[in-house]
């Protein structure tokens, strides 16, 4: 029989509590996959993610938007450049990776072999769980799973796209992100990847007026940079925009901003449980974004 003194017992408890606290305060690691060159909303979403102290962005992957009718000749390279420019504006160091230059192939080895896809594979092989927040085409993620199918169970993907009728569970895929790579979406729905999807009929709540946005953040250096993105876009005359991606990342960071429902998809959409965002508190999202951005100071 062994005797442990009360003092030593308290010491062991203190050590245990210290270890638990240290584990609980470790930032969540996340890979971000973004078609940043495409629209205005991506940069707002990336700023919110990159400034979140509870997250560590372990990779910022560039996604293509090659199928769009307003695409750049090399849309993925454009996204990669914008990603790096944003990191420079924020004075942050995050590993950036080039993704697929276009959608997955039609037959044979359908994967787009890219640095982004192999970084997803590398992290999934090394860890029990990898989270990816995807703001555009799913090409990089689907290609990673196509190349290394065994990683599917390790991936949790948060993505914006599709339209879901919550009364009938009918899923439509005729919006921008699914159309950039229809096969990539089909492939992931048929896989064991854990999917969390914000449909655009939910994210549409993120509509905001230019005057409100500029008035809230326009005097901040990063805010001015984001407003300039609106001003320089090809449809810069718009008075309102839906900052779609900001809704997704804010709900990912703060689950209380949204409600989810687990729905079994139809047989042509995987016939399995997918977590769909059902509602979004856009007012709370914007207040959170303004607060986070205005508190940020560059060195």
Task: Tell me the domains of the chain and their CATH numbers.
Answer: 27-294 (3.90.245.10)
Parallel/antiparallel/unpaired status of strands 207-209 and 96-97? unpaired
Parallel/antiparallel/unpaired status of strands 163-165 and 170-172? antiparallel
Statement: residue 131 has pLDDT above 90: yes
Is residue 73 left, alpha or beta, with left meaning phi > 0 and alpha meaning psi from -120 to 50?
Answer: alpha
Give the span between the Cα atoms of 220 and 251, in whole angstroms.
24
Phi then psi for 263, rounded to 5 degrees?
A: -125, 135
Region 7-21: mean pLDDT is 49
Region 165-193: mean pLDDT is 97
* Other beta carbons less than 10 A from residue 65's beta carbon: 26
Give the span between the Cα atoms of 18 and 267, in whole angstroms.
48
Q: How confident is the model at residue 20 (pLDDT cuts 50, 70, 90)?
A: very low
Instruction: Look at residue 4 in the predicted model and tell me its pLDDT.
Output: 54
Region 190-197: mean pLDDT is 98
Statement: residue 156 has pLDDT above 70: yes
Give the span between the Cα atoms of 60 and 77, in whole angstroms.
13
Mean pLDDT of the chain: 93
Phi then psi for 60, rounded to 5 degrees?
A: -115, 105
Share above pLDDT 70 across residues of the chain, in percent, rounded to a whole number: 92
Q: How confident is the model at residue 279 (pLDDT cuts 50, 70, 90)?
A: very high
Statement: residue 61 has pLDDT above 70: yes
Instruction: Look at residue 21 in the predicted model and tell me its pLDDT.
Output: 42
Q: Residue 29's beta-bridge partner residues?
A: 56
Statement: residue 17 has pLDDT above 90: no
């Amino acid at each position: 029989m062994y005797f442990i003194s009360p003092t030593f017992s308290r010491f062991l408890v203190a050590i245990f509590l210290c270890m638990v606290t240290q584990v609980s305060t470790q930032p969540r690691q996340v890979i971000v996959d973004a078609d940043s060159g495409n629209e205005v909303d991506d940069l707002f979403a990336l700023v919110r993610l990159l400034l979140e102290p509870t997250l560590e962005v372990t990779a910022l992957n560039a996604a293509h938007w090659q199928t769009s009718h307003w695409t750049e000749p090399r849309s993925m390279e454009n996204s990669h450049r914008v990603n790096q420019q944003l990191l420079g504006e924020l004075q942050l160091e995050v590993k950036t990776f080039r993704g697929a230059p276009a959608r997955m192939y039609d037959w044979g080895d359908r994967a787009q072999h890219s640095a982004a896809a192999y970084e997803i594979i590398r992290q999934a092989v090394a860890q029990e769980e990898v989270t990816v927040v995807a703001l555009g085409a799913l090409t990089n993620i689907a290609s990673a799973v196509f190349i290394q199918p065994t990683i599917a169970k390790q991936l949790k993907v948060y993505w914006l796209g599709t339209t879901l009728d919550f009364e009938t569970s009918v899923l439509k895929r005729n919006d921008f992100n699914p159309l950039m790579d229809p096969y990539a979406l089909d492939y992931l729905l048929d896989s064991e990847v854990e999917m969390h999807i914000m449909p655009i009929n939910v994210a549409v709540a993120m509509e905001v007026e230019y005057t409100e946005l500029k008035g809230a953040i326009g005097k901040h250096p990063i805010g001015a940079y984001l407003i300039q993105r609106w001003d320089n876009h090809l449809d810069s005359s718009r008075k309102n925009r839906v900052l779609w991606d900001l809704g997704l990342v804010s709900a990912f960071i703060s689950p209380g901003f949204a409600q989810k429902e687990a729905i079994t998809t139809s047989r042509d959409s995987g016939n399995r449980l997918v977590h769909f965002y059902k509602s979004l508190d856009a007012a709370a999202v914007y207040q959170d974004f303004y607060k986070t951005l205005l508190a940020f100071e560059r060195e």
